[in-house]
Amino acid sequence: MKKIINLKNGIKLISHKLNNTHSATISINFRTGSLYENEYNNGITHLVEHLFFRKWDDLIQKDFYSEMMSLGAEIIGNTYNDYVSFSITVVPDYFMKAFELISKCLNVFYWDDDCVVDEKRVVCKQIENKFESYREWLNSCYFNGVAYELPIMGTAKTVRHLSVDDINKWKGTYFCCNNSCVVITGKYTDRDFEIAKKKLSEINNIGRSADMIICTPQNFNNRNADNRYSLISNNSENTDVTIFFDINSKYDFEAVRLLSAILGEGCGSVLSMKLRETLGYTDDIYTDLVSFCGFNRLSVSFSVSNSDFYGCMESFFKIMSDFKNCITQDDYLRNIGFFTNNQIIDLDNPNVLNKRYALCDFVLESFLSDPLKLKEKYETISISLLEMCAKEILTDNNISFLIQTAMKDENIKKHLEKLINTVL
């Protein structure tokens, strides 16, 4: 059973004991990231995350790595736009040792000049060698001009200019118990959990709790012919298309999640069956529903040959129009099984469950995360609710485009605006 305890020193403690599993995952999460930075200190959060592995409280790097290896595990650090996570997965016999090791990151300590210089060199090389993922590229275009546009790693220039004092101050402000969430999932004894909870409660209350930052993209829910297009030139015979739909927080997230799956997730989805299998316009099409603090984004991505582009887009809009007005029983039944009984599969994976709890219950705060409750929730979603969401979300004021093509921008805009006004 999932439990949430708010300790007096500011730590949020989330736990879910799973006796059927053979491992336990412990994570410590902090609300910070590039969303809290600016153009001058961009990358400071990611650098701080790296510095923990240079010196973990009283453990220098060599000793820290030896401690992890003795547990047959490693602490994984990840920096995102809006939070940082450290996590470790171990067999139950090593739970207490793993907890004692990972919880050292909540202690007060600082890094010296030598640590910072050495780790800056590592991070700058990482920035130099980094390959931008497709989603990161989509984000940079979708969030053009707002805080989410800042790269998580920063730039080599901003990282090099960070001072030791600034870095240690950032650690003291954001990497503290009052701005943290500890998540424990998997197999452990009640005694070990009580000891861990007691040790967490004894940590001094320092730092402050960072507020959630809601930073919607420009023209969010207010798209029109003048602002809905990002057109990028290429020399290819194919056009890459991503279609975004802005989704504000008023919509039931689980209903939108199910809607997204029916529309374009998997080989049996509506878009895949028609655009790929029946019409042959593309060999791959998929949807992606991403949650940010305070809003969500649904995207549909596919590639099509330039010669087929206009015909493909006409078919796409026709499919979307039909979908809005009639989600069939067959479409619904092909997906609802996954979103009901299959939710409990996550109860077999402490690591996956741990990440979900940290994101939904700490970072995003108001999202349903317990697999059993999610199963119950999906069982209540009706076709009529899905159709209502589709009619309100798949509209002209929510739609925008990111298109890479060799074709003329004017022709594309004219064609798509006609389809939006007459079909969508």
What is the C-alpha to C-alpha distance for residues 333 and 340, in angstroms, rounded to an integer? 11
Residue 206's pLDDT is 80
Query: Which runs of consecutive H residues, i.e. helices, occur in 38-133?
Result: 44-54, 61-70, 95-102, 113-129
Measured from the Cβ of residue 173, the count of other Cβ atoms closer than 10 Å reads 16
Residue 266's pLDDT is 78
- Distinct helix (H) and strand (E) counts, the chain: 16, 13
Q: Is residue 218 part of a domain?
A: no
- Residue 166 sits in the same domain as residue 254: no
- Residue 182 sits in the same domain as residue 285: no
Residue 228's pLDDT is 96
CATH assignment of the domain containing 236:
3.30.830.10
Last residue of a domain, one of 201, 219, 241: 201
- Residue 185 sits in the same domain as residue 264: no
pLDDT band at 6 (very low <50, low <70, confident <90, very high): very high
Q: Is residue 215 part of a domain?
A: no
- Residue 79 sits in the same domain as residue 167: yes
Q: Is residue 305 part of a domain?
A: yes
**DSSP letter assigned to residue 16:** E
Q: Is residue 35 part of a domain?
A: yes
First to last CA, the chain: 45
What is the C-alpha to C-alpha distance for residues 299 and 402, in angstroms, rounded to an integer? 10
Give the whole-number percent of the chain exceeding pLDDT 70: 100
Angle (nearest 5°) at CA 233 between 231 and 236: 125
**DSSP letter assigned to residue 131:** P
Express each pLDDT in 103-121 by its tens digit: 999 999 999 999 999 999 9
- Residue 191 sits in the same domain as residue 233: no
- Residue 127 sits in the same domain as residue 50: yes
What is the C-alpha to C-alpha distance for residues 398 and 402, in angstroms, rounded to an integer? 14
- Residue 51 sits in the same domain as residue 186: yes
- Residue 120 sits in the same domain as residue 187: yes
Q: Is residue 260 part of a domain?
A: yes
- Residue 280 sits in the same domain as residue 414: yes
- Residue 334 sits in the same domain as residue 279: yes
Which amino acid, one-letter code, is at 329?
Answer: Q
Last residue of a domain, one of 183, 201, 219: 201
Q: Is residue 142 part of a domain?
A: yes
pTM (predicted TM-score):
0.94
Beta strands in 72-215 (DSSP E): 76-79, 84-90, 180-186
Query: Mean pLDDT, to the nearest integer, of 299-318?
Result: 96
Q: Is residue 321 part of a domain?
A: yes
* Total structural domains within the chain: 2
- Residue 151 sits in the same domain as residue 235: no
> Torsion over CA of 275, 279, 284 and 287, rounded to 10 degrees?
0
Which residues form the domain of 407? 229-339+381-422
- Residue 162 sits in the same domain as residue 297: no
**Least confident range of 17-26, 211-220, 325-334:** 325-334
Q: Is residue 298 part of a domain?
A: yes
pLDDT, averaged across the chain: 94
Phi, psi of 386 (to 5 degrees): -65, -45
Residue 342's pLDDT is 86
